[in-house]
Amino acid sequence: MTELEAIQLALRTAPLRPLKTTLVRCVALLPLTSSAMPDYLFTSGQANRYNPPGVRCVYFSGNEATARMEYARRFGKSRAARQPLGTYFAEVSLTKVLDLTDATTRDALKLRLNDLAVAWQLTKRPTRTQLLGLAANQGLVAAIRFPSDAARAKGSTGFNVVIFRDGVQAPDYVHILGPTKKPLKKWP
């Protein structure tokens, strides 16, 4: 059995829970405002911690402090870290969410906390978390809630959420909050 198959099997019995909350993302202001209407739910298909290339998904943080830490991590101590910053919010209601901040869920998937913090940027093969995202994206799960590595690196705690485009089906939703009741962007 391949690692992916083992994860797919474990996923069938892993506990899922609903998530109804407001999530946050921070972006450098210049790229964000360079086009008339930014695509706040743009899926680049680029690899990230919980997806190999080709998986359509977006990442948010659990609160502004975590989003700020995630944003600042790549800039380090450079002056650029203090440039104008844009923050936007997503109101989400998702029924099938895999919560990796919960030990029971991690145990069901045979994941250790160390597996969640592994460096993925330069790996040649998909990491375990990327394989989990690949398996989760096959319609079983709408999102994965996971500990923020940027917060951990700062000696703090926080969480992020990766939301899979194909996993968000009504009545689930993701709404980017705007000045009125009408969302700036929404899934589905």
Does residue 156 belong to the site contacting other proteins (CB under 8 A)?
A: no
Q: Kindly report the number of other CB atoms within 10 A of residue 10's CB atom.
A: 16
Considering the complex, state which of residue 11 and residue 26 has its C-beta at the smaller distance from other proteins: 26
Among 90, 94, 116, 150, binds other proteins (CB under 8 A): 150
**Dihedral pair phi/psi, residue 110, rounded to 5°:** 55, 45
Considering the complex, state which of residue 79 and residue 182 has its C-beta at the smaller distance from other proteins: 79
| Shortest Å distance, C-beta 40 to other proteins | 10
Considering the complex, state which of residue 149 and residue 172 has its C-beta at the smaller distance from other proteins: 149
Calpha distance 13→148 (Å, rounded)? 25
Stretch that binds other proteins, among 3-11, 108-116, 146-154, 176-184 (CB under 8 A): 146-154
Contact 28, 86 (CB under 8 A): yes
Does residue 71 belong to the site contacting other proteins (CB under 8 A)?
A: yes
Which of 35, 28, 50, 52 has its CA nearest to residue 100?
A: 50
Please tell me whether residue 79 adopts helix, strand or coil conformation. helix
Calpha distance 26→60 (Å, rounded)? 9
**Whose structure tokens read 């951990």?**
152
| Shortest Å distance, C-beta 13 to other proteins | 28
Considering the complex, state which of residue 8 and residue 71 has its C-beta at the smaller distance from other proteins: 71
Positive or negative: CA dihedral 47, 117, 103, 58 = negative
**Whose structure tokens read 């995630």?**
70
| Positions in 105-144 near other proteins (CB under 8 A) | 119, 121-122, 124
Does residue 78 belong to the site contacting other proteins (CB under 8 A)?
A: yes
Among 19, 160, 172, 187, binds other proteins (CB under 8 A): 160
Q: Kindly report the number of other CB atoms within 10 A of residue 143's CB atom.
A: 29
Chain positions contacting other proteins, by CB under 8 A:
25-28, 30-31, 34-35, 42, 44-49, 53, 59-61, 67, 70-71, 73-76, 78-80, 83, 119, 121-122, 124, 148-150, 153, 160
